[in-house]
Amino acid sequence: MRVSRCFLPVLKESPSDAQIVSHKLMLQAGLVRQTAAGIYAWLPIGFRVLKKIEQIVREEQDRAGAQEMLMPTIQSADLWRESGRYDAYGPEMLRITDRHKREMLYGPTNEEMLTALFRDDVNSYRDLPRTLYHIQWKFRDEVRPRFGVMRGREFLMKDAYSFDLDEAGARLSYYTQLLAYLRTFQRLGIQAVPMKAASGPIGGDLSHEFIVLAPTGESEVFYDAAFEEFDWAQGGLDYGDEAGLHGLFDRVSSTYAATDETHDEARWAEVPEARRRTGRGIEVGHIFYFGDKYSAAMGLKVSGQDGKPLTPMMGSYGIGVSRLVGAIIEASHDDKGIVWPAAVAPWQVGLVTMRGDDAASITAADDIYAKLTAAGVETLYDDRDERGGVKLGTQDLIGLPWQLIVGPRGLAAGTVELKNRKTGDKEELSIDSALTKLTS
């Protein structure tokens, strides 16, 4: 993509009205703009990051055997009366009356809707187990939206729902999602510690939050340093390996990690002092097992193998996709700007001409751009006739993994400069060597 043809507005100054670093950087680097309190438009660069995260979440859900679908944003209030949550949910639910005076709402979550869909179409034990998910915008009318997309009102969530014939099956579905989450966060390039959690308004008795450590986190966290050496991707573990999934769950459960809500001083005291880690964290995922809470309330039944009706056991599994954009920045930035993990970077390479009015630089950079693009390397090419220093500052701010800098002096000697954004390391090398390095 050529910057001269992009809608890529960058602010000269760090916005003073943003309180946390991710919010400041998302505004300054032109990822988002607020269009109403707690509601954001995703500009092209932010949109690209959002889509990358979404795609990794999707691939890991698919790999774990969950099937994608898409439920609407607007729901009928009657659906929520069936579960008893319509009145219980409180003012965070955006309630809407349509032109025919029907009570509707903007879905904050989808347990009711999917339970109803299942109830209408699934009849037999042979149709279970199933885990379905969707990635859809939700709305929670926060009383005081803040911290940008970290605590917005309209937000993108992946929510999955599992249906099983019995508790043993449902627990296995839960462990499967637990493993999928560990793999998802690892691929995103962040560490998210699973912590036993209170289940809140979703209900149920088994729940974990996934917490990214960051000084601006909303909750205090306590965890065993063992998580720092944890194999997050769980290398050889297969989704079909029942014993392995149980073993993973036992290991997570027996390694201390808790938020201030669930912190247990007695168990904490058992963790050797040198291994106690505390800090603040941001919730980026939350999974729940809640048995027959919704299936029983809403009359979802299937006929069992013996012909008798059975009430499926359920769980639900959320990842805050839009929130993750902020959380990743909180965990990965420096004083110059964002430092994207490669997996979610909007482009892999920022190509910059130091002199936008130098014909030799333009010819060389055009050629490099064509070659990188042809090789499938996502490249943002800053081809503007703008001061080199300004362009480099923008590059540091938007945080692509690599910067490839083309200047008249280097070109005269046959070289370009390749800079690693994360380490800051720079090397002078021939154009061919640079291309080889970036395309291999």
Q: Which residues bind its own copies (CB under 8 A)?
A: 1, 4-7, 9, 30, 33, 35-37, 39-44, 46-47, 50, 65, 67-76, 79, 91-92, 94, 96, 98-100, 102, 104, 106, 113, 116-117, 120-122, 126-127, 130, 132, 134, 137, 139, 141, 143, 153-154
Quickly count: other Cβ atoms within 10 Å of residue 11's Cβ: 12
* Distance between CA atoms of residues 83 and 89, nearest Å: 11
d(CA 394, CA 12): 9
Nearer to its own copies, 105 or 405 (CB): 105
Least distance (Å) from its own copies to the CB of residue 146? Answer: 14
* E-assigned strand segments in 365-425: 379-382, 402-406, 415-420
How many Å apart are CA 195 and CA 223, to the nearest integer? Answer: 8
CB of 45 to its own copies, least distance (A): 9
- Helix 167-188 vs helix 44-63: angle between axes, to the nearest 10 degrees? 140
Tell the burial category of 325 from Cβ atoms under 10 Å away from its Cβ (0-12, 13-18, 19+).
buried
Q: Rounded to the nearest whole angstrom, what is the least distance from the CB of residue 55 to its own copies in the complex?
A: 12
Task: Find the shortest distance in angstroms from Cβ 428 to its own copies.
Answer: 32
- Our CB check for its own copies shows the closer of 70 and 412 to be 70
Shortest reach from residue 395's CB to its own copies, in Å = 19
Q: Name which of 277 and 384 has its Cβ closer to its own copies.
A: 384
Question: For residues 235 and 180, what is the distance between their CA atoms, to the nearest angstrom?
Answer: 12
What are the tokens at 294?
Answer: 């919704």
Question: Is the CB of residue 11 less than 8 Å from the CB of residue 28?
Answer: yes
**Closest distance of CB 130 from its own copies, Å:** 5
Task: Please state, in angstroms and rounded to a whole number, the distance separating the CA atoms of residues 198 and 399.
Answer: 36
Residue 32: CB minimum distance to its own copies, A: 10
* Smallest separation (angstroms) from its own copies to the CB of 16: 16
- Going through 230-269 in order, the beta strands assigned E by DSSP cover 257-259
In the complex with its own copies, which residue's Cβ is closer, 37 or 375? 37
β-pairing verdict for 67-68 and 130-139: parallel
Torsion, Cα 365 368 369 371, to 10 degrees, reads 160
Nearer to its own copies, 40 or 249 (CB): 40
Q: Measured from the CB atom, is 7 or 306 closer to its own copies?
A: 7
